[in-house]
Structure formats: structure tokens, C-alpha cells
Chain A
Amino acid sequence: MTLTDATTPTRPSRRRLSTSKAMVEGIAQEMERDPDVFVLGEDVGAYGGIFSSTTGLLDRFGPERVLDTPISETAFIGMAVGAAVEGMRPIVELMFADFFGVCMDQIYNHMAKIHFESGGNVRVPMVLTTAVGGGYSDGAQHSQCLWGTFAHLPGMKVVVPSTPADAKGLMISAIRDDNPVVYMFHKGIMGLPWMAKNPRSVEPVPEESYEVPIGKANVVRPGSDVTIVTLSLSVHHALDVADELAGDGVDCEVIDLRSIVPLDTGTILESVGRTGRLVVVDEDYLSFGLSGEVIARVAESDPAMLRAPAARVAVPDLPIPYARSLEYAVLPTADRIRRAVLRTVGT
């Protein structure tokens, strides 16, 4: 079963799960189905993942398939690469995306390049899961999104769910994919009991196994005045703004990218072609990243599509500050999104 639109599952389910539980259910169903799937990383065993991305898997599948590693990311991510090359399907967790600095070589020079360098003869079917995002004052080394950095480097797919149903379906697709897939989950979408959460972090999730296709964006709110292209936690801020502005007669279309690599250019162009206005909301850094890429795709296709200048709401090229007053001044908050949308429709 393929679920193309998470908001309308083929078999409606009333069972509601948090995003973290949905993600774990996806992993568990694949582990049941395929003995080659296994999980490794720091604190993925008894702790169940710092952000509950592996809760209960140790009890269910045992320490042979759910492995707590030393704090040695180069060694254990490289180990996942080697196991994948031999046909296993490892899911390896980098606790925070911010920590990629200590292990990036295994990720971008090995995981991402082996298939190409082998002329297509070697496959690296693995999933690299990692937590991203800020908003809770965790400072400059624990709050970044960095998906633009991963997406910039060729050879790995990059998926970024924003809802429980997509978290499960994208996980299953990522595990089954014969390519390395970086699966980036925002801490603020997980539905964690110890962190402020958006109301959509607990939602209906189909019980059966299903895939959400990688590379397919989701129009989560149709609209005619302006297209908001976004992803991850920002989808929820964008939806809140869209609901609010509907009362003022501004009809926003909201696109949840879900995948960055491959990027669903078709859905973006189709939407902007209709609305003529584009706001990109991205919790990653502003320059040289996703927001510029989305606008470039539109400009490359037909610059005349835009009836107003495109707008970007992103982190304005500074490390994420600790103090709440500063962090919320630079995150893509609902307030900043609203102002960008109004500026865009006003022109």
C-alpha cells in the first residue's frame, strides 16, 4: 500500500499515535518483515533514543538487533555503511544532526559515494536517522536543522517528516530504499511529553504497513493567493498562519515538502503557477540552502510565474542563540511567516 496523501489514508484509522511512536512502529514492522534490518546508535537500547525514536525496540528485538554503541560516530556509522554494503539494512542514529562534524567523512565520502564510485555495482541500503531543530534553548551546537548541508552533497536521499503518518510511511520507504536515506526528525514534531508540542504531533496513523513515497511533496492546505513551501515543524506554523489569514481573506496554499532529495519540483511549480506568489519557510540557515534552491527551481522554470518577489523566512545566517529572546527572534516563527505572507500578497 502506498499512501500518497497522509491526510487521507486509504483505510481511515482512528488510532492516534505520536510522531515518535509512529516512527518506531514503522521500524518495528520492517524489523518483523526483514531480519536484515537492525538498529544501532547511542542510547537507542534501554533509553529508547533521547527523542524516543527507538522506544521498546530493545525489549522486542533484543540486543543483537538493537545495539547501543560507544560515543564513536565515525566507527558506528561507518560500520552501518559496511553492513549495508553486505546487504544488511541498518538504521543508524546520529543523536543530533549537529554532531555530524565528528563523522561526516563516513556519511558524505562513503555512505553517499560508494554506489556511484562502484559504477552502480555496490548498493548502500541504509537509513541515517537524526534529530534536528531548535526552539527550546539548547544552544548553537544542539539546535540546527542542517538539512541543506546534507542535501547539498550528492548521493543520499533526505527525508523530513512533519506528521505521525508521514513519519511512519517515510521510515518504511527509507528502509526499503536501496539508497542511503537521511531521515531527519524535528524534536518539536515528536510529541515528546517533556517538550512543548504542536497539537498535530498526535494524529491518526494506519496500523498496517505502508509507504509514503520519497520525493513526493504533500499539499497540506490548498489555496489560491500564495504558496508557502515548507517542511518539518515549520509546516505547522505555516498552517496556523494560513488558518488565521483565511479570516482576513488571504487564501494560502501550504506545501509540505516531506523529501528534500529528491525535491518534488513539479508540485512546487504547479502551485506557484496558480498562485503567482511564493514564500519559503525553512528553519535551516538562510543562505546557500533549501530556500534559495526552491526559488531557483521556480526561476529556472519560468521567472514570469512570480507576480511578486519570492520571500524567504529562515534563520538569518547566525548560529542559533541560547537566550529565548534571541532564539525566537531568528527562528521562522508564525509571526515572521505572517509578515512575509502579507508582504508578498500586498505587492
Chain B
Amino acid sequence: MDSQLTLDLYRTMVLIRTFEEAILREYHADKKPVFDIGAGQIPGEMHLAAGQEPVAAGVCAHLTTDDAVTATHRPHHFAIAHGVDLRRMAAEIFGRVDGLGRGRGGHMHLFDPGTHFSCSGIIAEGYPPALGQALAFRRRGTDRIAVAVTGEGAANQGAFHESLNLAALWKLPVVFIVEDNDWGISVPRSVSTCVTSNADRAAGYDMPGERVEDNSVEAVYEAAGRAVERARAGLGPSLIEVHTLRLWGHFEGDAQGYRSDLEGVPGRDPIPTYEAALRRGGVLDDIGVKNAQEAARQRVEDAIAFARQSAEPDPASALDHVFA
């Protein structure tokens, strides 16, 4: 693979991780000594995507901000890889007026019309709107596409199956991504899902299905390339399942007492793995790693500082934006 491309994939992954680590730090900073989910500068549920960077980096490398992405309750990695503004995203997570949703939405409800990015906290419900965005793109005579993302747990939801059928029936330019991180909160996929690969389900909807087994960003990139090309060519949707990793808890505060695979988790972190591969390939050295980390750190800390200095929404404005 082209070395510039591999470096870009690596840098995207580092940027995502740096952002998630900063949110982790800010989220817990003022929830001590007793964790209170509603307290502090970032209150509410917080689902971070550490470990799942390869999926977002590999898929979004094929997209421009004219393409649409619909993400899940765990949305930050796709937002970042798709080019959502870090400052306004951080400000929304902090619930501030300069946030993407002026503090109304929060971390599960990031809407960025500029990059056609959205997400939803209701499982699998990001799939159907992607079909409509794809329909609009096609009707307007463009080759823009929509990428719909969901977890493996969501693949047992009605909206998932209805969307696959309809997209295939109307040959819509959609790429369906399933992030299999082995867990739907505390429920392992073996307990929730009757097939070992959700890619097998694609056959039932007359579309190509592919499973990327090892959380490799390059393998995701290649599989996504095929699916995106097919969608842009008007040949219809595809489904890709990536076997990825939930590096941390389902949400912050999750003690993960149920989690049987916890011991092996740190060794499966995709970023050191990819870094080592790039070093072996001579694409990356100490300086390259340091530069990537420093560049990411600067962008992320700038975004956090921006969020912090942004004002809290005025209570008198609470009733704004209910209607256009």
C-alpha cells in the first residue's frame, strides 16, 4: 500500500485516540472521588470508541465531505475520520453554545450538515436515514454515497434488516458497516446472534457481504474501497462487518465485571500493532510517531480549550430551535 496513504490512516487513528483520551480525561476530571454520571463539565452517558479507530479511518479514507455518514451512540471516531470540525464537536460534548447543536444534542447527537454527518442513540436507527440521503444524492444525479454504521448488537434489530432489503431492492448507493466489537453492553455476540458473521446476512439481501477479521486498518480500507466503488457506480449497496475491539467499557463508569475477555484486551490495541507494522515497513520511525502524536495533541487540546471557553447556553433560550 502507498506509504503516504498508510501514514494518513495511521495519523487519523492517532487523532481519534488522542481525542478519545482527552474526552476520557475531561469527563472524569470532576467526577471524583465519587462517580456521579450527571456531574461535572461533561455530564451524561459517554461511549468512547478507543480500539475501533481502524474501522472509521479505513472507511472514511474513501469519502469526501459530500458523502454522508450516519453513526451510532459511539460516534466520535467516525465524526473525526469524516472531517467533522473538532472544535465544534468538542464544544457540543461539553454542552456549550458553540457546539454543533448549540448544546442541545450532546455526544450521542452530533449533527453536522457541512459534512453530512449525523448519529443516533437508538440502536440501528441510523441505518434508515442513510437510505434517504443516498436516494437524494442519486436523484440529484451525483455519485455521492451514504455510509451507515452500526454495532454487531444492532444487527438483530428490525431497522437493520428492513434497511438492507430496501437499499438492495432500489440499488441505493449505500455502504453498510457493522462494527463487531464482540459486545452489546454486557451481552456477548455469541449470546445475541445466531450467525457467526453478519456478512453472511448480506446474501439474504442480495448484496455483497464481507467480514474483516483482524481489525486491520488496511484490510478495512481495501474492503471499503470495493464497496464504495460499487455504490458510486450505481450497482447498489454492500455490507462490511469488521471484527474490531472495544478497548474500554461500554460507557464510562462501566466496571465490566461481566467481561470474560478483559485480560487479552490491551494486547489487541490496533494502534501499537499498526505502528509496529509501519516501522517494520520503514514508513514510520520515532520521529514520525512523535510528529503524529504531537500534531494530534495540538489539534485536540485546541478543541478542548475552545470547548471550555465557550459559554453555557442561556436558560432563557431553552425553548429555541424546537421548530424552524
Contact = CB atoms under 8 A, between A and B. Distances in A.
Contacts of A98: 122
Q: Chain A: interface residue count, which band?
A: 35 or more
Contact of B258 (A46, A102, A319): A46
> What are the 6 tightest A-B residue pairs by CB atom distance, in nearest-first order?
A136-B38, A322-B106, A323-B95, A323-B103, A137-B43, A329-B315
A136 B253 CA distance: 14
Interface string A178-202: 0000000000000001111000000
Interface of B: 34-39, 43-45, 95-96, 101, 103-109, 120-125, 153-154, 156-159, 184-187, 191-193, 253, 257-258, 312-319, 322
Given A68-B191, A194-B36, A326 B186 contact: no
A193 B35 CA distance: 8
Contacts, number: 142
A141 B121 contact: yes
Given A46-B186, A47-B185, A194-B36, A319 B253 contact: no
10 contacts: A50-B185, A102-B122, A102-B124, A102-B157, A137-B95, A138-B44, A139-B109, A194-B36, A196-B36, A323-B313
Interface in A64-100: 68-74, 98-99
B186 A47 contact: yes
A102 B322 contact: no
Contacts of B317: 326
Given A137-B44, A325-B315, 5 more contacts: A47-B185, A102-B123, A319-B322, A322-B103, A322-B104
Contacts of B103: 321-323, 325-326
A243 interface: no
A278 B103 CA distance: 35
A45 interface: yes
A60 interface: no
A101 B39 CA distance: 29
Contact of B313 (A74, A135, A196, A326): A326
Contacts of A71: 123-124, 153-154, 156-157, 184, 192
Contacts of A196: 36, 38-39
A216 interface: no
A330 interface: yes
B122 A140 contact: no
Nearest to B323: A318
Contacts of B106: 137-139, 322-323
A215 B104 CA distance: 37
Contact of B105 (A47, A140, A195): A140
A137 B38 contact: yes
B39 A328 contact: no
B322 A317 contact: yes
A138 B284 CA distance: 41
A136 B122 contact: no
A43 interface: yes
Contacts of B124: 71, 102
A138 B158 contact: no
A43 B319 contact: no
A43 B153 CA distance: 12
A307 B109 CA distance: 45
Residue of A73, A99, A194 with most chain B CB atoms under a 10 A cut-off: A194
Contacts of A102: 122-125, 157-159
Which secondary structure dominates chain B's binding surface? Answer: loop
A289 interface: no
Interface string A307-347: 00000000011110111111011100000000000000000
A136 B44 contact: yes
B122 A328 contact: no
Nearest to A50: B185
B186 A194 contact: no
B36 A141 contact: no
Residue of A69, A70, A140 with most chain B CB atoms under a 10 A cut-off: A70
A317 B322 CA distance: 9
A142 interface: yes
Given A102-B157, A318-B319, A70 B122 contact: no
A67 to B, nearest CB: 10
Contacts of A72: 156-158
A99 B122 CA distance: 7
A251 B96 CA distance: 40
Contact of A324 (B95, B101, B121, B185): B95
Nearest to B322: A318
Contacts of B107: 139
A42 interface: yes
B318 A135 contact: no
Interface in A129-150: 135-142
B201 to A, nearest CB: 13
A195 B109 contact: no
Contacts of A318: 318-319, 322
Nearest to A63: B191
Nearest to A318: B322
A285 to B, nearest CB: 11
B192 A70 contact: yes
Contacts of B44: 136-139, 322
A136 B43 contact: yes
Interface in A18-52: 42-43, 45-47, 50
Contact of A321 (B184, B193, B257, B318): B318
B103 to A, nearest CB: 4
Contact of A328 (B105, B125, B158, B315): B315
Nearest to B157: A71
A68 B43 CA distance: 28
B193 A70 contact: yes
Contact of B186 (A43, A136, A316): A43
A71 B185 CA distance: 10
A70 B319 contact: no
A326 B92 CA distance: 13
B124 to A, nearest CB: 7
A140 B95 CA distance: 13
